[in-house]
């Protein structure tokens, strides 16, 4: 099992002027640990599950990833996850392509249907009903696939999006893997089976994750997709590990490894995330043995 790091908090010790330097250290610490994944959130405002108010610091996700691309060389870079409502799909494909080119082929498109209504209303971004958001998500996945097909620069005519050309030059160095976040059994996991290279679930408990994977397997069977080709990842949040509970966390992950989970993502929530990642680094080798 592999380990990844997800950094959701930008209230950094030392204040706003310390953020850039700390994030550079985060990139260095993640790679020194042997982690395979580094991500940020895609939000305009901070979200309540972090325990912080909306007024707390929040950076724009893809700008932050671009900065990290210059301060890392091996770790995969993505958002956990891009809100489908935040960017036009053609622009999103160009943004992820740019990240891939400038990172040397390390971009991942993490994407989901979006959910935080306050930030949409706050900044004037349309927030359609959930059924429409999922329809837009499916069209976005189709558009990205077409833009990353160098043999198809033709139009896309969907219900919500119409593109006269899907020209994308340069093409990505490595076609970005698509990670679809969420465990919705009727819509989200169906989209994983049809379009995703990876899924991302919450590690609520092994029985729940086993059930979600069984649902995904059924969707794969219906779509004629090989279930084994989908990378399975979880976010550890029940409970969220701390440096003091690192060994306990590793033991708990054994049950998920048995289910076929390929990677677990953990979240530093301190004002010094680079030091937290340094402290969690021994878990990389421990998890690799599971």
- What would the two tokens of residue 285 be? 């080798």
Distance (Å, whole) CA 157 – CA 111: 21
pLDDT tens for 215-256 read 999 999 999 999 999 999 999 988 899 999 999 999 999 999
Whether residue 144 contacts residue 96, with contact meaning beta carbons closer than 8 Å, is answered with: yes
Phi and psi, residue 167, nearest 5°: -70, 130
Distance (Å, whole) CA 22 – CA 13: 9
Query: In terms of Cα–Cα distance, which of 8, 75, 27 is closest to 235?
Result: 8
pLDDT for the residue numbered 88: 98
Phi and psi, residue 133, nearest 5°: -60, -40
Query: Is 228 buried (19+), middle (13-18) or exposed (0-12) by CB count in 10 A?
Result: exposed
Helix, strand, coil: what percent of the chain each, to 5? 45, 15, 40
Per-residue confidence band for 1, with pLDDT thresholds at 50, 70 and 90: very high
What lies within 8 Å, CB to CB, of 249 at 6+ separation is 236, 241, 266, 283
Residues 195-204 have a mean pLDDT of 97
Distance (Å, whole) CA 129 – CA 19: 35
- Sort strands 231-235 and 162-163 into parallel, antiparallel or unpaired: unpaired
Residues 116-130 have a mean pLDDT of 97
> 0.85 cut: is pTM over it?
yes
pLDDT tens for 135-178 read 999 999 999 999 999 999 999 999 999 999 999 999 999 999 99
- What would the two tokens of residue 194 be? 């049809």
Residues 201-223 have a mean pLDDT of 97
- Average pLDDT over the chain, rounded to an integer: 97
Distance (Å, whole) CA 272 – CA 130: 36
3-state secondary structure of 166: coil
Task: Say which CATH class 2-289 falls into.
Answer: alpha beta
Phi and psi, residue 288, nearest 5°: -60, -20
- What would the two tokens of residue 50 be? 């972090």
Is the preceding peptide bond at 239 cis, omega within 30 degrees of 0? Answer: yes
Distance (Å, whole) CA 254 – CA 290: 6
Query: In terms of Cα–Cα distance, which of 260, 261, 140 is closest to 194?
Result: 140
pLDDT surpasses 90 at 276 = yes
pLDDT for the residue numbered 226: 98
């Amino acid at each position: 099992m592999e380990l990844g790091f997800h950094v959701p908090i930008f209230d950094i010790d030392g204040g706003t002027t310390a953020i850039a330097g700390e994030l550079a250290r985060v990139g260095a610490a993640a790679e020194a640990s042997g982690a395979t994944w580094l991500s940020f959130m895609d939000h305009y405002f901070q979200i309540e599950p972090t325990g912080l108010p909306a007024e707390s610091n929040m950076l724009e996700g893809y700008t932050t990833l671009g900065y990290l691309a210059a301060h890392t060389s091996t770790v995969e870079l993505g958002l956990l996850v891009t809100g489908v409502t935040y960017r036009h799909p053609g622009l999103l494909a160009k943004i992820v392509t740019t990240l891939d080119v400038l990172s040397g082929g390390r971009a991942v498109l993490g994407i989901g249907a979006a959910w935080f209504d306050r930030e949409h209303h706050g900044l004037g971004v349309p927030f359609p009903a959930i059924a429409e958001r999922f329809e837009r998500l499916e069209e976005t996945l189709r558009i990205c696939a077409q833009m990353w097909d160098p043999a198809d620069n033709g139009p896309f005519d969907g219900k919500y999006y119409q593109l006269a050309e899907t020209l994308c030059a340069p093409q990505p160095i490595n076609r970005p893997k698509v990670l679809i976040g969420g465990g919705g059994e009727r819509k989200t996991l169906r989209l994983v089976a049809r379009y995703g290279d990876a899924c991302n679930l919450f590690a609520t408990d092994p029985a729940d994750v086993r059930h979600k994977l069984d649902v995904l397997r059924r969707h794969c069977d219906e779509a004629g997709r090989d279930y084994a080709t989908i990378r399975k990842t979880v976010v550890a949040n029940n409970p969220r590990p701390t440096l003091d509970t690192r060994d306990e966390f590793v033991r708990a992950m054994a049950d998920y490894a048995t289910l076929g989970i390929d990677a677990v993502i953990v979240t530093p929530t301190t004002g010094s995330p680079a030091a937290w990642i340094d402290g969690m680094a021994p878990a990389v080798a421990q998890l690799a043995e599971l």
